[in-house]
Structure 1
Amino acid sequence: MQYPKSERFNSRQLMAGGVVLLSFGLLLDLHSLPSFLSKRTSGELCQEVVQSQTKLSRQQLARLLTVPEGDKKQKVQEILKDPYCKLVDLQVRVGATAQREAYQLEFEPQTWLVVLYEGDQYAGYRFNIR
């Protein structure tokens, strides 16, 4: 049994429309994942607020950039002082638990500095735009 051309054309349109809707739905679903949210990223919620008034100055940031990775945690903490908050610990490497502290930048309030420590060693930093 053969269908008229107009019905086959409509079924193709229906199929194309369904694919577009499915793609759009998947795109929206991906944006609802925590890693795509601007104010919250996976594992980036404060576990404990230490000093809610803390803001990191340009001078403190510049001094931090002179500290090599692997240096003592105490040296970094002397420069940065108390963090805004401590983030949830995570395991970066097998057998090594990393602690993270977050600091809001005084000169760029939407940007936070997240400092990573492994035990008593400074392991690095990254910026988080919220």
Structure 2
Amino acid sequence: MIKSSSRPKPASPVGAQAMLIAGMVVGLAALVMDVRRGVPLDRFTERPEDCQGEANANVIISREQLAQFLTISERDSKAKVEQVLQTPYCLLPSLEIRAGTPSERAVYPLAFDRQTWLVVLYEGEEYAGYQFRVQR
């Protein structure tokens, strides 16, 4: 009686490398573009000099606030985000990311990196996303 080997064949190193490269490309694309809507992330923000109204100069967010904010899910309430981040430094002009839905953008400078700003996007009373903006 002849016994056949039922062991699976090991994965090809070339196939594993190709999958790793493909994953990296997809990850990079996700960083450059909001995949869900197909809108470039740069469209979310403008330079903070474009703030509307008065800027709240004393506003900065700590690492702890940022860490807590990053646990909030998209489409959660705006109130939940504001509970963590408090009053924004300023608001940027509103824009329309999705047709018929005006979006509000709030700016928060980071306490530990004053050249980086957190821009939070709201659609109505829902948190819709964020972007880090590095000032030059």
- Give yes or no for TM over 0.5: yes
Offset from partner CA, 1:14-69 (integer Å, 9 cap, x none)? xxxxxxxxxxxxxxxxxxxxxxxxxx946971012352110010000000100000
Kindly report the root-mean-square deviation, in angstroms, between the aligned alpha carbons of the 2 structures.
1.8
Gapped regions of structure 2 (runs ≥ 5): 1-44
TM-score, normalisation: structure 2 = 0.63
Offset from partner CA, 1:76-122 (integer Å, 9 cap, x none)? 00000011001100000100000000000000000000000000000
1:94 equivalenced with 2:87 (yes/no)? no
Question: What is the rounded CA distance, in whole Å, between the counterparts of 1:41 and 1:110 in structure 2?
Answer: 14
Residues 124 and 117 from structure 1, CA distance in 2 versus in 1: closer, same or farther, beyond 3 angstroms?
same
Percent sequence identity over aligned pairs: 46
Residues 126 and 44 from structure 1, CA distance in 2 versus in 1: closer, same or farther, beyond 3 angstroms?
farther
Greater C-alpha Rg = 1
Gapped regions of structure 1 (runs ≥ 5): 1-39
Listed as ranges, the matches of 1:1-130 within 5 Å are 41=46, 45-130=50-135
Question: How many residues align structurally?
Answer: 91
Residues 76 and 90 from structure 1, CA distance in 2 versus in 1: closer, same or farther, beyond 3 angstroms?
same
Consecutive aligned runs of 4 or more in structure 1 exceeding 3 Å deviation: 40-44
